[in-house]
Amino acid sequence: MDSKNRRFLSAILAAGEGKRFGGNKLAAVLQGSGRTVIQQVIEKALKGRASGCAEGPWAILVITNLVNMRTIPSTEGVEVLDNERYREGMSESVKIAIKEALRRKAEGLFFFLGDMPFISDQTIQSVSLKALQEPEMIIRPRWQTIPGFPLYFPSRFFDRGLTIAGDQGLKSILKPLSESVRWIETIDSFCIKDIDRPSDLQN
């Protein structure tokens, strides 16, 4: 299939309560850029889409909760979905994204975390382009042996993704699928770093 016509979906998981941060970290302003955390993550996801197949059907979802929803900026090409069961852990957001991907007949999902705004454009583009080359494989960046984001998850594993529970996200099913993972080694340590405390807002 021509890469321009591939059907992908990007999901930004942003339904956490930010308890350790002490408030809604999605709305916190990043030092330097002046953007909010979630605004910058959305912009990163949009750039990743454009680098891969700008002409193809590639939607971006933000999976959040009603409390956080008012902090999500209205952005063309971005849809915001409410996770009513967000207190049950990240797995609920993952399953919402997978169900949307199934409904839209997407070939695969790119997972971003809503509190990781400093991932380099190069890392995102590398994952995006590798997914275009090997859309049946799991694609993930890795910094010094530590798995990072964004994570590409192909449709052939969607059924397994719907079985997860709690706050483990996709961890519980990725381990037995290790032979289906293509790693992208990177010097970008920000692919593993989230905003946990106010001091993390400075790049």
pLDDT in tens, 38-94: 999 999 999 887 555 544 557 899 999 888 888 888 888 899 999 998 888 889 999
Superfamily of domain 3-201: Spore Coat Polysaccharide Biosynthesis Protein SpsA; Chain A (3.90.550.10)
Tally of CB atoms within 10 A around 49: 21
Mean pLDDT of 118-122: 95
pLDDT at 102 over 90: yes
Q: What is the pLDDT of residue 54?
A: 44
- % residues pLDDT > 90 (the chain): 58
Assess whether the previous peptide bond of 150 is cis (omega < 30° from 0): yes
CA torsion, ordered 43, 183, 98, 96, to nearest 10 deg? -60
Higher pLDDT, 33 or 94: 94
pTM: 0.92
